[in-house]
């Protein structure tokens, strides 16, 4: 059971968190996503996300990339390139946007598919339920 002082503290904390999310759209934005897909190079890592400005530069592991889309964007990276840009066995990739007008850089992480950057050349994984 929650006491009245605990309830007031919890209510204040929730109000503060909601206000922070409304005041800072960058903090409230959904995390970027990464998934495997087919492409001309064979298999590619498709990274997608959102940026506050259509003119903001998108960087994957500090490499500027040409994306398709405006505020909602996506880019396909050949697996060899994604592996070169990442540390071995990484479970995530750094995705940043830099707006040259406001000089604002927002950095987020996108979770990578399981085993993508492992030592074995693993493009897919099959999970069977018993």
Closest to 32 (Cα-Cα) out of 56, 58, 62: 58
Closest to 43 (Cα-Cα) out of 79, 76, 67, 75: 79
Evaluate if residue 22 carries a pLDDT over 80.
no
In terms of CATH architecture, what is 31-111? Sandwich (2.60)
Confidence at residue 114, expressed as pLDDT on a 0 to 100 scale: 77
Evaluate if residue 130 carries a pLDDT over 80.
no
* Average pLDDT, rounded, for the chain: 79
Which residue ranges make up each domain of the chain? 1-29, 31-111
**pTM for this model (two decimals):** 0.67
pLDDT in tens, 44-83: 999 999 999 999 999 999 999 999 999 999 999 998 898 8
Comparison of pLDDT for 16 and 70, the residue scoring more: 70
Residues in the chain: 130
Closest to 77 (Cα-Cα) out of 94, 95, 89, 65: 65
pLDDT in tens, 82-127: 889 988 778 899 999 999 999 999 999 999 887 676 655 556 667 7
Confidence at residue 83, expressed as pLDDT on a 0 to 100 scale: 87
For 19, list phi and psi in degrees, rounded to 5.
-65, -40
Evaluate if residue 129 carries a pLDDT over 90.
no
Structure token pair of residue 112: 């990578």
Q: Burial code of 107-129, b = ≥16 C-beta within 10 A, e = fewer?
A: ebebebeeebbeeeeeeeeeeee
Evaluate if residue 13 carries a pLDDT over 60.
no
Closest to 87 (Cα-Cα) out of 65, 62, 124, 64: 62
Structure token pair of residue 9: 């503290």
């Amino acid at each position: 059971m929650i006491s009245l002082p605990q309830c007031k503290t919890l209510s204040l904390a929730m109000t503060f968190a909601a206000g922070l999310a409304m005041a800072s759209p960058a903090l409230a934005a959904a995390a970027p996503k990464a998934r495997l897909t087919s492409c001309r190079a064979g298999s590619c890592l498709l990274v997608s996300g959102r940026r506050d400005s259509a003119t903001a530069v998108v960087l994957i592991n500090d490499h500027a990339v040409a994306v398709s889309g405006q505020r909602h964007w996506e880019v396909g990276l050949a697996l060899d390139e994604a592996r070169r840009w990442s540390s071995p066995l990484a479970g995530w990739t750094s995705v940043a946007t830099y707006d040259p007008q406001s000089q604002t850089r927002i950095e987020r992480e996108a979770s990578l598919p399981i085993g993508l950057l492992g030592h074995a050349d693993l493009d897919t994984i099959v999970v069977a339920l018993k």
